Every structure is written in structure tokens, then in C-alpha cells.
């Protein structure tokens, strides 16, 4: 083993001085266009066997083989420069690489913009999350306020309904205590109606004495009704009375007979009828609706009567009322004869006052 190791060591010692004798030292300076030294510039031989960097003062020193033909100086933001290695002191003058600078600046701007976009996206996400949280809180508060307001409104409505119910019950109780005893049972009504003709006229032609005009009619109707109150609101009864007519007649002449003056005629009639009354409210003063249907004796004319008015109650069994309405009234109907042929029914408005006992 020792015999083999000795020849190897002898060969290594022989070739080491030979390898060292194949290298040479290249020195130089790297500077810019403004003649200022450039530190940190990379120096690379053509065979890429070794590399070196320029010092702070821009100088460099690199050992290369004799077969290296050129040396290249390069750096960030600088254009590469290559020179032949001829054994002299090499001076590299580098120019700014504007394209590389722009590309790097653009890359930096793009990176900044991407970072800004990322940060903005994060900020927007945070803002949206915060807005969503605030909206959720506001919605929750609004729902609670609505629920609370709904409860308050419901409670207020219930209180109002309770107050209205208590008021209505108190009013009904007071009404029942004052007038309840008179809401059912028998009653006696006495009324007086004044009727007015609405421009009605009846012309009568006599054979030899001219024409006869009824220019006015003023009926008065006095009635008595015996009724039974079925309910506070309804009553039904039967009645009779006296109708007293006063008719103004104008007598005129024709070419054969002169005019000889005016006079009046009076006429009585007796109505028989059935009456219905409707009183809708519980109150001291209340509206009433009256409907009558029947027949006029002596005149042989039907009776239809409808009125609406107001009633004032003094006691449970005593009240007074005033009403307005329309009723049928007997009206004399003549033919071409000097004798009456009968009566017809004409509608007339009236005013009525009455007392219920």
C-alpha cells in the first residue's frame, strides 16, 4: 500500500507547479460614464471558469487561464461591456441600461400595485364585514324597536278598546237605568201633521159656467196610534185620526158667462193605518224612521206615509219627536160635469210633531 501511495504524491507535486504556471492575473478598473468608480460589478471570463467583483474603488483582480480571450463586466442597471484580455490594465466604462431600469421600475410598480390591490381587497373585505356587522346590529335593533312598538301599539289599542267598551257599558248602563223600563210595552202616540201642496192644480170644466181651478191645498192630519214596543229599536201599532182639507178654488167665466169671484171648500177624511217605527240608537236624542200604510175612509183613497226625524226622551215612557216626510192625501177628481166624480191620491210633503206616552 505504501509503495502505491508514493508515486501518486510525486505526480501531484509535479503537476501543481505546472497548473499554477497556466494562470495569469488580470487587473483593471470599472467606472461609469461620469468617471466615478463602480463597486460590485461582476467580472466574468469567456470560459466562465471563475468570477470576481469590483472593489469599492472600482478596481478588480482576477486570475484566468491563458486560453481566456475576453472578460465581461456586468451589473444591475448597467449595460454589459466585454474587452479582450491582452495583458494590459483593463478599464471598463459602463453605461446605464435604461431599458433594464424601466423594466425593473415597472416591475417594482407592478409589484407595488399588486400589493396595494391586495391590501385594498383586504381593507374592502374588512369594511364590508364591518358594514355587514353594523347592518346586522341595526336590523336587530330595528326589529326589536318594531316589536316593542308593536307591543306598545297593541297595548294602547287594547287600552283604547277597553276604555271604549267601559264607556259604552257605562253609557248603556246609564241609559238602562234611566230609560230601560220604557223600551218595551204599550205606548200611545198623538201627532199633528201639516201638509203642503207642491203647485198641484186640478182644472174642472163645466158645460155652461166656465172653468174651475183648485190652486191650493192645505191639509191638516191629526192621528192617534196605539203601539207595542217589541224592542228598544222597533215598535208596531195601529192608528186612526182626522184629515181636514182646506181647498182654495178660483171660479172663472168664459165668453158666455162673466167671472163671479173666489171661495173655499172644506173636506174631512178618516185614515186607518198600520205603523212601524225604527229607533237605532241608545241615547236621549235619537233618530227615528216612521212608515205607515192604510186607507182613507170617506175619500176611498190609499194612505202611504214615510218620515224621518228625531226624538227626545223625557222619561222612560214619555218622549216628543219632530219629523219630515211625504204622505198621500185625497184630492178631488172631476170630470166634464158639474158634479164630483170622486178622489185621487196625491203625494205631499209634511212637517209632523208628536208625543209618545
Do 232 and 331 belong together in one domain? Answer: yes
Residue 80 belongs to a domain: yes
Q: Does residue 319 or residue 104 have the better pLDDT?
A: 319
Determine the average pLDDT of the residues in 324-350.
69
Give the rounded percent of residues in the chain with a pLDDT score beyond 90. Answer: 42
Query: Taking Cα atoms as reference points, which of 95, 88, 59, 89 lies closest to residue 74?
Result: 95
**For residue 258, what are the contacts with CB-CB under 8 A and spacing of at least 6?**
none
Residue 130 belongs to a domain: no
Indicate if the pLDDT at residue 119 is higher than 80. Answer: yes
Check residue 338 and give its pLDDT: 44
Indicate if the pLDDT at residue 273 is higher than 90. Answer: yes
Among the candidates 99, 130, 155, a domain finishes at 99
Determine the average pLDDT of the residues in 62-82.
89
Residue 177 belongs to a domain: no
Domain extent, residue 39, equals: 2-99
DSSP string, 135-203: HHHHHHHHHHHHHHHHHHHHHHHHHHHHHHHHHHHHHHHHHHHHHGGGSSEEEEEEEEEEE--SS--EE
Indicate if the pLDDT at residue 291 is higher than 90. Answer: yes
Q: Does residue 302 or residue 257 have the better pLDDT?
A: 302
First to last CA, the chain: 160
How far, in Å, CA of 32 to CA of 180, rounded?
124
Distances (CA, A) of 238 to 27, 137, 224, 225: 149, 76, 9, 6
Give the mean pLDDT of the chain.
80
Do 194 and 61 belong together in one domain? Answer: no
How far, in Å, CA of 242 to CA of 222, rounded?
5
Lowest mean pLDDT among 215-224, 247-256, 266-275, 289-298: 247-256
CATH number of domain containing 54 = 2.60.40.1120
Check residue 261 and give its pLDDT: 42
Residue 303 belongs to a domain: yes
Check residue 282 and give its pLDDT: 81
Lowest mean pLDDT among 144-153, 170-179, 185-194, 243-252: 243-252
Check residue 216 and give its pLDDT: 53
Among the candidates 45, 64, 99, a domain finishes at 99
Lowest mean pLDDT among 115-119, 127-131, 194-198: 194-198
Q: Nine-digit cell at 356?
A: 209618545
Residue 72 belongs to a domain: yes
Check residue 280 and give its pLDDT: 87
Check residue 342 and give its pLDDT: 61
CATH number of domain containing 323 = 2.40.160
135 pLDDT band, cuts 50/70/90, is: very high
Q: Does residue 52 or residue 348 have the better pLDDT?
A: 52
Q: Does residue 323 or residue 218 have the better pLDDT?
A: 323
Do 86 and 192 belong together in one domain? Answer: no
Order the strands of the 59-65 sheet from edge to edge: 59-65, 23-32, 90-94
Tell me the backbone φ, ψ of residue 35, rounded to 5 degrees: 70, 5
Q: Which residues of 20-46 are buried (b: 16+ CB within 10 A; e: fewer)?
A: eeeeeebebbbbbeeeeebeebbbbbe
Indicate if the pLDDT at residue 248 is higher than 80. Answer: no
User: How many domains are contained in the chain?
Assistant: 2
Lowest mean pLDDT among 132-146, 286-300, 337-351: 337-351
Residue 135 belongs to a domain: no
Residue 175 belongs to a domain: no
How far, in Å, CA of 65 to CA of 25, rounded?
9
Indicate if the pLDDT at residue 136 is higher than 90. Answer: yes
Residue with cell 509535479: 14
Indicate if the pLDDT at residue 354 is higher than 70. Answer: yes
Amino acid at each position: 500500500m505504501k509503495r502505491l501511495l508514493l508515486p501518486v504524491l510525486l505526480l501531484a507535486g509535479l503537476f501543481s507547479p505546472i497548473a499554477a504556471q497556466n494562470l495569469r492575473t488580470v487587473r483593471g478598473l470599472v467606472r461609469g460614464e461620469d468617471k466615478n468608480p463602480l463597486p460590485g460589478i461582476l467580472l466574468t471570463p469567456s470560459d466562465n471558469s471563475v468570477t470576481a467583483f469590483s472593489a469599492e474603488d472600482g478596481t478588480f483582480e482576477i486570475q484566468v487561464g491563458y486560453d481566456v480571450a475576453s472578460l465581461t463586466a456586468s451589473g444591475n442597471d448597467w449595460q454589459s461591456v466585454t474587452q479582450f484580455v491582452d495583458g494590459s490594465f483593463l478599464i471598463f466604462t459602463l453605461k446605464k441600461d435604461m431599458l433594464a431600469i424601466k423594466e425593473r421600475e415597472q416591475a417594482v410598480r407592478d409589484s407595488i400595485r399588486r400589493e396595494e390591490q391586495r391590501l385594498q381587497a383586504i381593507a374592502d373585505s374588512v369594511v364590508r364585514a364591518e358594514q355587514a356587522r353594523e347592518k346586522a346590529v341595526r336590523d336587530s335593533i330595528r326589529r326589536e324597536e318594531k316589536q316593542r312598538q308593536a307591543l306598545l301599539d297593541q297595548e294602547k289599542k287594547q287600552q283604547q278598546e277597553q276604555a271604549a267598551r267601559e264607556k259604552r257599558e257605562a253609557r248603556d248602563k246609564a241609559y238602562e237605568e234611566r230609560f230601560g223600563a220604557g223600551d218595551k210595552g204599550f205606548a200611545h202616540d198623538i201627532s199633528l201633521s201639516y201638509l203642503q201642496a207642491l203647485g198641484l192644480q186640478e182644472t174642472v170644466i163645466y158645460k155652461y159656467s166656465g172653468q174651475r181651478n183648485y190652486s191650493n191645498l192645505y191639509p191638516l192630519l191629526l192621528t192617534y196610534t196605539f203601539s207595542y214596543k217589541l224592542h228598544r229599536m222597533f215598535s208596531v201599532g195601529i192608528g186612526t185620526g182626522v184629515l181636514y182639507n182646506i181647498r182654495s178654488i178660483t171660479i172663472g167665466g168664459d165668453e158666455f158667462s162673466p167671472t163671479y169671484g173666489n171661495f173655499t171648500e172644506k173636506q174631512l177624511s178618516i185614515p186607518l193605518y198600520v205603523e212601524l217605527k225604527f229607533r237605532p240608537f241608545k241615547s236621549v236624542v235619537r233618530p227615528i224612521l216612521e212608515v205607515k200604510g192604510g186607507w182613507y175612509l170617506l175619500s176611498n183613497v190609499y194612505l202611504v206615509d214615510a218620515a224621518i226625524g228625531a226624538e227626545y226622551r223625557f222619561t222612560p215612557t214619555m218622549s216628543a219627536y219632530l219629523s219630515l216626510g211625504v204622505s198621500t192625501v185625497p184630492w178631488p177628481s172631476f170630470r166634464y160635469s158639474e158634479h164630483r166624480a170622486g178622489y185621487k191620491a196625491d203625494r205631499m210633503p209634511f212637517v209632523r210633531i208628536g208625543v209618545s206616552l
